[in-house]
Structure 1
Amino acid sequence: MENFPALVDDAGQWWDAAVEDAQEGRWVRDDVERAVVADIAAATNALHGGRLPPFTEDDWYVRIGRIANWAGVIRLAARAGGWELRPVAGRAPDRPAGMTELLSGIYAIAAPAETWMRRFVEARQPPSEQDMARAEFSFSGPGTLEDLESFFYDD
Protein backbone atom coordinates (compact mmCIF):
# COMPACT_ATOMS: atom_id res chain seq x y z
CA MET A 1 0.00 0.00 0.00
CA GLU A 2 1.55 3.22 -1.13
CA ASN A 3 0.20 5.48 1.64
CA PHE A 4 -1.16 3.16 4.29
CA PRO A 5 -0.73 5.68 7.15
CA ALA A 6 -3.00 8.16 5.34
CA LEU A 7 -5.56 5.41 4.72
CA VAL A 8 -5.53 4.49 8.42
CA ASP A 9 -6.12 8.15 9.31
CA ASP A 10 -9.01 8.45 6.84
CA ALA A 11 -10.53 5.17 8.03
CA GLY A 12 -10.25 6.30 11.63
CA GLN A 13 -12.35 9.35 10.82
CA TRP A 14 -15.10 7.06 9.54
CA TRP A 15 -15.34 4.74 12.52
CA ASP A 16 -14.79 7.66 14.93
CA ALA A 17 -17.76 9.44 13.31
CA ALA A 18 -19.95 6.37 13.77
CA VAL A 19 -18.94 5.89 17.39
CA GLU A 20 -19.32 9.60 18.16
CA ASP A 21 -22.75 9.75 16.55
CA ALA A 22 -23.83 6.66 18.49
CA GLN A 23 -22.53 8.08 21.77
CA GLU A 24 -24.22 11.43 21.10
CA GLY A 25 -27.53 9.77 20.19
CA ARG A 26 -27.49 10.74 16.51
CA TRP A 27 -27.24 7.04 15.58
CA VAL A 28 -29.27 4.63 17.66
CA ARG A 29 -28.33 1.10 16.76
CA ASP A 30 -31.15 -1.34 16.17
CA ASP A 31 -31.14 -4.97 17.31
CA VAL A 32 -29.52 -6.19 14.08
CA GLU A 33 -26.73 -3.61 14.31
CA ARG A 34 -26.05 -4.54 17.95
CA ALA A 35 -25.96 -8.24 17.05
CA VAL A 36 -23.62 -7.61 14.11
CA VAL A 37 -21.16 -5.65 16.26
CA ALA A 38 -21.22 -8.46 18.85
CA ASP A 39 -20.62 -11.03 16.10
CA ILE A 40 -17.72 -8.99 14.70
CA ALA A 41 -16.12 -8.96 18.15
CA ALA A 42 -16.61 -12.71 18.52
CA ALA A 43 -15.22 -13.50 15.07
CA THR A 44 -12.11 -11.33 15.30
CA ASN A 45 -10.53 -12.49 18.55
CA ALA A 46 -6.88 -11.65 17.97
CA LEU A 47 -5.58 -14.50 20.16
CA HIS A 48 -2.58 -12.49 21.25
CA GLY A 49 -2.74 -13.49 24.90
CA GLY A 50 -3.07 -9.93 26.14
CA ARG A 51 0.20 -8.79 24.61
CA LEU A 52 0.33 -5.34 23.08
CA PRO A 53 1.29 -4.68 19.46
CA PRO A 54 3.41 -4.70 17.47
CA PHE A 55 3.63 -8.48 17.57
CA THR A 56 7.14 -8.71 16.14
CA GLU A 57 7.82 -12.04 17.85
CA ASP A 58 4.98 -13.71 15.92
CA ASP A 59 5.33 -15.23 12.47
CA TRP A 60 4.39 -12.91 9.61
CA TYR A 61 1.62 -15.30 8.57
CA VAL A 62 -0.03 -14.94 11.97
CA ARG A 63 0.45 -11.17 12.11
CA ILE A 64 -0.98 -10.57 8.67
CA GLY A 65 -3.75 -13.12 9.23
CA ARG A 66 -5.01 -11.33 12.34
CA ILE A 67 -5.71 -8.25 10.26
CA ALA A 68 -6.81 -9.98 7.04
CA ASN A 69 -9.45 -11.94 8.94
CA TRP A 70 -11.19 -8.68 9.76
CA ALA A 71 -11.76 -8.02 6.04
CA GLY A 72 -13.78 -11.19 5.52
CA VAL A 73 -15.73 -10.67 8.72
CA ILE A 74 -16.61 -7.10 7.74
CA ARG A 75 -17.71 -8.16 4.24
CA LEU A 76 -19.97 -10.81 5.76
CA ALA A 77 -21.36 -8.33 8.26
CA ALA A 78 -22.09 -5.81 5.50
CA ARG A 79 -23.85 -8.45 3.39
CA ALA A 80 -25.85 -9.73 6.34
CA GLY A 81 -27.16 -6.28 7.16
CA GLY A 82 -27.46 -4.94 3.64
CA TRP A 83 -24.88 -2.19 4.20
CA GLU A 84 -22.71 -1.15 1.28
CA LEU A 85 -19.01 -0.73 2.01
CA ARG A 86 -17.69 2.55 0.65
CA PRO A 87 -14.18 3.80 -0.12
CA VAL A 88 -12.88 6.05 2.65
CA ALA A 89 -9.58 7.36 1.26
CA GLY A 90 -9.74 11.12 0.96
CA ARG A 91 -13.46 11.22 1.77
CA ALA A 92 -15.41 12.43 4.75
CA PRO A 93 -18.10 10.14 6.16
CA ASP A 94 -21.76 11.01 5.84
CA ARG A 95 -23.27 12.40 9.02
CA PRO A 96 -24.96 11.25 11.00
CA ALA A 97 -22.73 8.27 10.63
CA GLY A 98 -23.96 4.75 11.23
CA MET A 99 -23.24 1.16 10.41
CA THR A 100 -22.13 1.83 6.81
CA GLU A 101 -19.50 4.31 7.98
CA LEU A 102 -18.35 2.08 10.84
CA LEU A 103 -17.93 -0.98 8.64
CA SER A 104 -16.36 0.98 5.77
CA GLY A 105 -13.77 2.49 8.11
CA ILE A 106 -12.83 -0.88 9.56
CA TYR A 107 -12.76 -2.57 6.18
CA ALA A 108 -10.45 0.06 4.70
CA ILE A 109 -7.68 -0.96 7.08
CA ALA A 110 -8.32 -4.71 6.90
CA ALA A 111 -8.58 -5.10 3.12
CA PRO A 112 -4.91 -4.30 2.35
CA ALA A 113 -3.91 -7.18 4.63
CA GLU A 114 -5.52 -9.61 2.20
CA THR A 115 -3.11 -8.35 -0.48
CA TRP A 116 -0.26 -8.55 2.02
CA MET A 117 -1.20 -12.17 2.74
CA ARG A 118 -1.27 -13.12 -0.96
CA ARG A 119 2.17 -11.55 -1.47
CA PHE A 120 3.50 -13.29 1.60
CA VAL A 121 2.16 -16.72 0.63
CA GLU A 122 3.24 -16.42 -3.02
CA ALA A 123 6.61 -14.69 -2.64
CA ARG A 124 7.33 -14.60 1.12
CA GLN A 125 7.21 -10.79 0.79
CA PRO A 126 5.79 -9.27 3.99
CA PRO A 127 4.41 -5.73 4.20
CA SER A 128 6.60 -3.03 5.63
CA GLU A 129 7.07 -3.30 9.37
CA GLN A 130 5.65 0.23 9.72
CA ASP A 131 2.43 -0.63 7.86
CA MET A 132 2.01 -3.89 9.75
CA ALA A 133 2.53 -2.20 13.11
CA ARG A 134 0.11 0.57 12.17
CA ALA A 135 -2.57 -2.02 11.33
CA GLU A 136 -1.87 -3.96 14.52
CA PHE A 137 -2.15 -0.81 16.62
CA SER A 138 -5.53 -0.09 14.98
CA PHE A 139 -7.00 -3.48 15.78
CA SER A 140 -5.33 -4.75 18.96
CA GLY A 141 -5.03 -3.43 22.46
CA PRO A 142 -7.04 -1.24 24.82
CA GLY A 143 -9.13 1.44 23.13
CA THR A 144 -8.80 -0.09 19.66
CA LEU A 145 -11.22 -1.94 17.43
CA GLU A 146 -10.60 -4.98 19.59
CA ASP A 147 -12.79 -3.13 22.12
CA LEU A 148 -15.42 -2.23 19.51
CA GLU A 149 -18.38 -3.35 21.60
CA SER A 150 -17.38 -1.14 24.53
CA PHE A 151 -17.60 2.05 22.43
CA PHE A 152 -21.40 1.80 22.36
CA TYR A 153 -23.59 2.64 25.34
CA ASP A 154 -26.97 1.57 23.95
CA ASP A 155 -27.06 -2.07 25.10
Structure 2
Amino acid sequence: MENYPALVDDAWEWWGAAVEEAQEGRWVRDGTERAVVADITAATNALHGGRLPPFTEDDWYVRIGRISHWAGVIRLAARAGGWTLQPVAGRTPPPAAGMSELLSGIYAMAEPSERWMRRFIEEGRPPSEKDMARAECCFCGPGTMEDLESFFYDG
Protein backbone atom coordinates (compact mmCIF):
# COMPACT_ATOMS: atom_id res chain seq x y z
CA MET A 1 0.00 0.00 0.00
CA GLU A 2 1.32 3.40 -0.87
CA ASN A 3 2.09 6.00 1.76
CA TYR A 4 0.29 8.96 0.20
CA PRO A 5 1.28 11.54 2.86
CA ALA A 6 4.99 10.72 2.38
CA LEU A 7 4.58 10.84 -1.40
CA VAL A 8 2.93 14.26 -1.14
CA ASP A 9 5.80 15.52 1.02
CA ASP A 10 8.35 14.34 -1.56
CA ALA A 11 6.30 15.77 -4.41
CA TRP A 12 5.97 19.18 -2.73
CA GLU A 13 9.75 19.22 -2.41
CA TRP A 14 10.10 18.82 -6.19
CA TRP A 15 7.33 21.29 -6.95
CA GLY A 16 8.79 23.74 -4.45
CA ALA A 17 12.29 23.45 -5.89
CA ALA A 18 11.03 24.42 -9.34
CA VAL A 19 8.91 27.28 -8.04
CA GLU A 20 11.81 28.57 -5.95
CA GLU A 21 14.12 28.49 -8.98
CA ALA A 22 11.54 30.52 -10.89
CA GLN A 23 10.88 32.99 -8.08
CA GLU A 24 14.60 33.54 -7.56
CA GLY A 25 15.07 34.15 -11.30
CA ARG A 26 17.27 31.13 -11.91
CA TRP A 27 14.60 29.49 -14.06
CA VAL A 28 12.84 31.83 -16.43
CA ARG A 29 10.11 29.98 -18.24
CA ASP A 30 10.16 30.23 -22.01
CA GLY A 31 7.05 30.80 -24.10
CA THR A 32 6.29 27.09 -24.37
CA GLU A 33 6.56 26.59 -20.61
CA ARG A 34 4.29 29.57 -19.91
CA ALA A 35 1.74 28.29 -22.45
CA VAL A 36 1.82 24.79 -20.96
CA VAL A 37 1.23 26.09 -17.43
CA ALA A 38 -1.66 28.20 -18.74
CA ASP A 39 -3.10 25.12 -20.46
CA ILE A 40 -2.72 23.04 -17.29
CA THR A 41 -4.57 25.73 -15.36
CA ALA A 42 -7.37 25.80 -17.94
CA ALA A 43 -7.68 22.01 -18.14
CA THR A 44 -7.79 21.37 -14.41
CA ASN A 45 -10.60 23.65 -13.27
CA ALA A 46 -11.77 22.01 -10.06
CA LEU A 47 -15.41 23.13 -10.48
CA HIS A 48 -15.94 23.39 -6.74
CA GLY A 49 -17.82 26.68 -6.76
CA GLY A 50 -15.34 28.37 -4.46
CA ARG A 51 -15.85 25.92 -1.62
CA LEU A 52 -12.78 24.86 0.33
CA PRO A 53 -11.68 21.24 0.65
CA PRO A 54 -12.26 18.62 1.76
CA PHE A 55 -15.42 18.17 -0.30
CA THR A 56 -17.04 15.50 1.86
CA GLU A 57 -20.53 16.39 0.62
CA ASP A 58 -19.61 15.55 -2.99
CA ASP A 59 -20.00 12.10 -4.55
CA TRP A 60 -16.84 9.96 -4.53
CA TYR A 61 -16.75 9.93 -8.36
CA VAL A 62 -16.61 13.71 -8.36
CA ARG A 63 -14.05 13.92 -5.57
CA ILE A 64 -11.68 11.38 -7.07
CA GLY A 65 -12.26 12.64 -10.61
CA ARG A 66 -11.46 16.21 -9.61
CA ILE A 67 -7.94 15.05 -8.72
CA SER A 68 -7.39 12.18 -11.16
CA HIS A 69 -7.76 14.33 -14.26
CA TRP A 70 -4.61 16.17 -13.21
CA ALA A 71 -2.53 13.05 -13.94
CA GLY A 72 -3.63 12.84 -17.57
CA VAL A 73 -3.22 16.57 -18.08
CA ILE A 74 0.33 16.44 -16.69
CA ARG A 75 1.25 13.46 -18.89
CA LEU A 76 -0.01 15.34 -21.95
CA ALA A 77 1.85 18.49 -20.91
CA ALA A 78 5.10 16.55 -20.47
CA ARG A 79 4.72 14.91 -23.86
CA ALA A 80 3.85 18.20 -25.55
CA GLY A 81 6.95 19.90 -24.21
CA GLY A 82 9.32 16.94 -24.41
CA TRP A 83 9.85 16.87 -20.63
CA THR A 84 10.48 13.64 -18.77
CA LEU A 85 8.38 12.81 -15.73
CA GLN A 86 10.69 11.50 -13.02
CA PRO A 87 9.95 9.46 -9.92
CA VAL A 88 10.05 11.69 -6.86
CA ALA A 89 9.39 9.29 -3.97
CA GLY A 90 12.39 9.26 -1.67
CA ARG A 91 14.45 11.38 -4.07
CA THR A 92 15.80 14.91 -3.80
CA PRO A 93 15.13 17.18 -6.77
CA PRO A 94 18.19 17.88 -8.89
CA PRO A 95 19.82 21.31 -8.80
CA ALA A 96 18.50 23.85 -11.28
CA ALA A 97 14.96 22.49 -11.11
CA GLY A 98 12.66 23.52 -13.92
CA MET A 99 9.66 22.35 -15.87
CA SER A 100 10.44 18.63 -15.69
CA GLU A 101 10.74 18.77 -11.91
CA LEU A 102 7.61 20.89 -11.56
CA LEU A 103 5.57 18.46 -13.66
CA SER A 104 7.10 15.45 -11.90
CA GLY A 105 6.08 16.80 -8.50
CA ILE A 106 2.52 17.51 -9.60
CA TYR A 107 2.21 14.17 -11.35
CA ALA A 108 3.41 12.25 -8.31
CA MET A 109 0.55 13.71 -6.25
CA ALA A 110 -2.08 13.11 -8.94
CA GLU A 111 -1.18 9.68 -10.30
CA PRO A 112 -2.35 7.67 -7.24
CA SER A 113 -5.84 9.07 -7.73
CA GLU A 114 -6.10 7.19 -11.04
CA ARG A 115 -5.60 3.96 -9.08
CA TRP A 116 -8.15 5.18 -6.55
CA MET A 117 -10.69 5.72 -9.34
CA ARG A 118 -10.06 2.30 -10.91
CA ARG A 119 -10.41 0.63 -7.52
CA PHE A 120 -13.57 2.61 -6.78
CA ILE A 121 -15.15 1.67 -10.12
CA GLU A 122 -14.09 -1.98 -9.99
CA GLU A 123 -14.52 -2.70 -6.28
CA GLY A 124 -16.65 0.15 -4.96
CA ARG A 125 -13.88 0.97 -2.50
CA PRO A 126 -12.91 4.65 -2.22
CA PRO A 127 -9.52 5.84 -0.96
CA SER A 128 -9.15 6.65 2.68
CA GLU A 129 -10.87 9.88 3.65
CA LYS A 130 -7.54 11.14 4.97
CA ASP A 131 -5.73 10.55 1.63
CA MET A 132 -8.61 12.05 -0.36
CA ALA A 133 -8.73 15.13 1.84
CA ARG A 134 -4.96 15.54 1.55
CA ALA A 135 -5.18 15.34 -2.25
CA GLU A 136 -8.03 17.83 -2.35
CA CYS A 137 -6.06 20.22 -0.14
CA CYS A 138 -3.08 19.98 -2.53
CA PHE A 139 -5.06 20.62 -5.70
CA CYS A 140 -8.12 22.70 -4.81
CA GLY A 141 -8.51 26.15 -3.33
CA PRO A 142 -6.43 29.26 -2.79
CA GLY A 143 -2.65 28.77 -2.69
CA THR A 144 -2.77 25.27 -4.18
CA MET A 145 -2.07 23.71 -7.56
CA GLU A 146 -5.31 25.35 -8.65
CA ASP A 147 -3.41 28.66 -8.50
CA LEU A 148 -0.35 27.28 -10.32
CA GLU A 149 0.18 30.30 -12.58
CA SER A 150 0.23 32.71 -9.64
CA PHE A 151 3.45 31.14 -8.31
CA PHE A 152 5.38 32.51 -11.30
CA TYR A 153 6.38 36.13 -11.77
CA ASP A 154 7.65 35.90 -15.35
CA GLY A 155 4.33 35.88 -17.19
Could you say which TM-score interval applies, normalised by the shorter chain?
A: over 0.9
* Cα RMSD for the two superposed structures: 0.6
For structure 1, the residue ranges without an aligned partner over 5 or more in a row are none
Match of 2:73 in 1: 73
**TM-score w.r.t. length of structure 1:** 0.99
Instruction: Give per-residue Cα distances to partners, 1:23-60, cap 9 Å, x unaligned.
Output: 00110100000000000000000000000000000000
Alignment of 1:5-154 (within 5 A): 5-154=5-154
* In structure 1, distance between residues paired with 2:78 and 2:105: 12
Distance 1:15 1:3 in 2: 18
Q: Count matched residues.
A: 155
**What amino acid does structure 2 have at the position aligned with 1:59?**
D
Amino acid at match of 1:70: W
Task: Tell me how far 1:95 sits from its aligned partner.
Answer: 1.5
Q: Distance in 2 between matches of 1:154 and 1:45?
A: 22
TM-aligned CA deviation for residue 136 of structure 1: 0.3
Unaligned runs of 5+ in 2: none
User: Percent same amino acid at aligned positions?
Assistant: 80
Deviation at 1:13, TM superposition (A): 0.3
Measure how far apart 1:94 and its partner are: 1.0
Per-residue displacement from partner, 1:50-77 (whole Å, max 9, x unpaired)? 0000000000000000110000000000
Which ranges of 4 or more aligned residues in structure 1 deviate by more than 6 Å? none
CA shift at 1:2, angstroms?
2.4
**One-letter code aligned to 2:26:** R
